[in-house]
Structures are given as C-alpha cells and as structure tokens.
Chain A
Amino acid sequence: MERIPILRMGNFLLVTIQVDMHDKLAITLQDDLTNRIADVGAKGVLIDISSLEIVDSFIGRTLANIASMARVLDAETVVVGMQPAVAITLVELGMSLPGIHTALNVETGMEFLQQTVADFQERDHAWDYTED
C-alpha cells in the first residue's frame, strides 16, 4: 500500500508531502502520524506541504485533524511551506485553517517547535519547584 514516509528527529516527527494525494492516502497519513506520535512520545510534528499544488477542503480538514489529534496526544503541529497561490485559494474556498500553526519554511517551523517545547519544559520545571 502507498504510504507517505514519516521521519523521526529527536522529539519531532517530520513529513514531506510530495505527491498529489488521493483521499485514502491522506487518511492513511493521518492514522500513521497519530500512531507514531503515541509510539515515540513525539512532542512536535512538522508537515512540509511546499510541493502541494492545491489544498482542497479534504486535505485542509485532514491537516486540521492531524493537528487536533496531535494536541490531544501532547504534541504541537506546524504546517510549513504553503505556496502563495494555495493560500489565496484556500481562503477564497472558505478555509483559514484555524488552530493550525503555520510557518513559511522548514527552518522557521523547526524554530517554532523547539521554542514551544522549550516553553513547556520550562513551565513543567517551574511547577516542580513550587511543589517542593
């Protein structure tokens, strides 16, 4: 079965979507990612969509689902590299992807994830301290 590969880098999972996804492939990615987050205890997910020539309502909804499921599993999601034409079309279509963090490229996306995870750890440590 066709699958989109998921790479692990420390606490983070990285996905680059490089094919024109049919709906089933999008659902498979959603399931695979959710399972991998739980398996490895990932804290962040980065999805690179710079190769995607369109994001329709189904793919948009799949990205939103991934972000929600990741959040429930204590991981942050950032979607990076959306092409300007895709962004214009998405908004006109009526989707503004609420609740999904976005970044212009992989580099700023990784910075966002690292910062978010660092903030969480700091807060956890502060909490430990007050409990002592």
Chain B
Amino acid sequence: MTCTSLDGCYFLESNMPKQPQHDNCDCKKLQISVSFVKTKAFSECSIEKFLGYVFTDDEKSKGKKSLFESWGYTKENAYELQKEYQNQALKEYLNGNYILKDLDRNGQRLAIGINLKGNSFYAGWMVDVEGKIRNTTPFGGWINEKI
C-alpha cells in the first residue's frame, strides 16, 4: 500500500495527496497547526548530492555538471549550494509552494522551485516523517516546463 509511506508526513491541506488512496483505506488525516509544523519542519540536502553526483563527471550527472559550472559553481561551492537548497526548499515547503509528484512505496516526491543566480528550476524532494523533506535530485527540470 502506497498510503503507508505517508504515515506521519506533513502537507498543507490545500496541497496534499488524495485521500483515500484506495478502497478500504483506513488512513486518517490529522489536523496540526502551521505553528507546530514550523517548529518541527526541516530540510536535508546531503552534501554528496553535489560532491558525489553533480560535480563528479558528466557521464554520471548527465549534463548537470556543465550546467552548474556555466552558472559559476564548482565543487568548491558544494556547501554553499547545500545551504541554499535547504533554505529555499524549506521556505517553499512551509508556504505550500510545491508540486506533488509520484507517490509510491518509496514515499511522496515533491518538486520544489530553486533559484540560483536568476536561474529557476525544480529540485526533487522526498517527504519524510514529522516535517522532514529530503533532497533526492538537485535538478528536476526547468520551471515553466511541464514536469
């Protein structure tokens, strides 16, 4: 059941996965306050998403290394990028500015807009329990493109 991967996850009521997810689904939606979510929510973007993926080589990152380098970033900027991703994504998540993407046994994915030096694009995130969102992929398509 994919709904079990939503257990303990926080969403804005106006932008949440459909409920019920399936016949005889016994999941319950619990109301929690925005102020509570703000005290709990945090975003995590592993530094390895940059050091072990984006800035390795283009065979692995498939064009992302070249793209980030064209914006003036190198692996020396990995920690700066990590912080920027975490800050921007958390702010957008708390404001409900995310697109619900696939939901399956691995969890609910979100596309959240990131802006780096005037370049706007989506990054992929996974919703974990108790307000945590975790970066899955640093680049998930251009904003204004169908995703």
| Chain B associates with chain A | no
Query: Could you tell me which A residues sit within 8 Å of B by CB distance?
Result: none
Query: Could you tell me which B residues sit within 8 Å of A by CB distance?
Result: none
